[in-house]
Chain A
Amino acid sequence: MTTKKDDSISAMCTVAIGEAGETGDWRSLRPVINHAKCIPSIKKKSACFLCWLYCPEGVIKAAIPVEIDLDYCKGCGVCAEECPAKAITMVREGEDDE
């Protein structure tokens, strides 16, 4: 990556993925989705997506199946808290999913 110097006299940053670095590094708990419980996966249509709606980092994709971008997920656990189907569990980093 080339490094051009920023000459601005006040702090400004561009609006881009990764602008603040890979914030997923900050995570101590990782969300793990059980698609057998996830409503969009069960119904096979766009439904629920409360995790996508509540995620404060905007790292959840409203897809079927739902995807979480772990490069930027900080592991706050809001998605797990809000999931009505209890499909998301928070697992300590370094421990097994299962």
Chain B
Amino acid sequence: MSNVQIMTGNQAAAIGAKLSNVQVVAAYPITPQSQLAEIISQYIEGGELKAEYVRVEGEHSALTVCISASTVGARVFTATSANGLLYMHEQLHWAAGSRLPIVMCCVNRGVGAPWTIFNDQQDSISQRDTGWIQIYCRNNQEILDTIIQAYRIAEEVYAPVMVCYDGFVLSHTMMPVDIPDPEKARDFLPPYQAHTILSPEDPRTLNPVLFPNRRANSAGVLCDGYMEMRYKLQAALERSPAVIEETSRRFAEVFGRDHGGLSWGYRREDAELVMTGMGSVASEAMQAADILREEGIKAGVVGIRVFRPFPAKHLKEAFRGVKGIVIFEKGISYGYEGALCSDLKAAFYGSEHQVPVHSYIAGLGGRDVKARELADAARASWQEMQSGIAEKPTTWLNCYTG
């Protein structure tokens, strides 16, 4: 039996955390925080969620509390946005290097300067290399479901997961969301088993300084050096796409909803021109595909759900046979191009499938991106691609660049 309610993305995320039976939540309550942390504090205060809520003085501390609680075996949750996420940067690396299955929502917003409170994805894109798994959601249902999935992925891979969703476009927009049955959610998530050795009889120092080389400890056990520990993190992330896909498949079996494991497609089967992006901009591109289809252009969408680990092998398959790719990104690697654009082009390197890729930067700092504008951009690129322009400089969509 379904239990559909109308709610914002923030409410959906809070319910996702509640259904995951999180035990410790740490959050900084002021800007750039979202309503998400407030809703969870109400659940805990009202006794709906049996968890410890730790109010801290900043985001660096919020994640530090999560790291400590996760180390001792608690399922933890936090949320932040924009400059708050940047303030966590050091601890993001620390959480991943400690292999802690922390789940955090990043309610995507632009970063200052100049000051903005509005949506783009520069915040999480800037944290790309911290060793976190990043999943981008396209609607409120997917936010709720992805948080439950994220704990299962994190606790199997032993890596933290950032569930990203667009600020305002999703966080403050109401949509119908089917709330999963709490018992089913509980069954879907086995209890978290901490991997750290925590025993008064066998005490350990966690994360001591490691020397450049492997070294035997006082008991004669050959311990990894820094590089080996870092390689283990990378190897775990490289194996994680299979876990993400399997989790998505299992979730679909239990709850009847499949959001796509690593990516999703719309009118993709016979599409020649494929628009791609992450989060709500990819969602909007579905409508643009409909517009282009009416004009006779065989357009479709591949929405990229998982940005790290970058599913290069999977995406080569997802874009098989397409004749043109148009990327819309709400962030940029300043001084070069969109981060997704670089990664996607690199995925095709050396393969027989050489496809023109045009890149658009769109919707920075909350500038509205309409389906019609995406369709216009994709149509213009499609015409250029057909006249042989495979490459062109990144276009800033709907921006006065004179």
Contacts and interface: CB of A to CB of B under 8 A. Distances in A.
Contact of A8 (B197, B209, B220): B197
Given A15-B203, A15-B204, A15-B205, A10 B220 contact: no
A11 B222 contact: no
A94 interface: no
A16 B218 contact: yes
A10 B221 contact: no
Interface in A1-40: 1-6, 8-21
17 contacts: A8-B195, A8-B197, A9-B99, A10-B100, A10-B229, A11-B207, A11-B223, A11-B229, A12-B204, A12-B205, A14-B202, A14-B203, A14-B204, A18-B218, A19-B208, A19-B218, A21-B211
A16 B217 CA distance: 9
B203 A6 contact: no
A20 B218 CA distance: 8
A10 B207 contact: yes
Nearest to B202: A14
Contacts of A11: 206-208, 210, 223-224, 229
A13 B210 CA distance: 10
B370 interface: no
A11 B99 CA distance: 10
Nearest to A1: B220
Interface residues of A, number: 20
Contacts of A15: 203-205
Interface of A: 1-6, 8-21
Interface of B: 97-100, 158, 195-197, 202-211, 215-224, 229, 232, 236
Nearest to B205: A13
Contact of A5 (B202, B208, B221): B221
A1 B216 contact: yes
Contact of A3 (B205, B221, B232): B221
B221 A6 contact: yes
A6 B210 CA distance: 14
Given A9-B158, A11-B229, A14-B204, 19 more contacts: A1-B220, A2-B220, A3-B216, A4-B222, A5-B222, A6-B217, A8-B197, A10-B100, A10-B195, A11-B210, A12-B205, A13-B205, A14-B218, A15-B203, A15-B204, A15-B205, A16-B219, A21-B211, A21-B215
Nearest to A3: B222
Most B C-beta atoms less than 10 A away, residue of A6, A15, A21: A6
A9 B210 CA distance: 14
Contact of B197 (A5, A12, A18): A12
B77 to A, nearest CB: 20
A88 B18 CA distance: 61
Most B C-beta atoms less than 10 A away, residue of A2, A11, A18: A11
B232 A13 contact: no
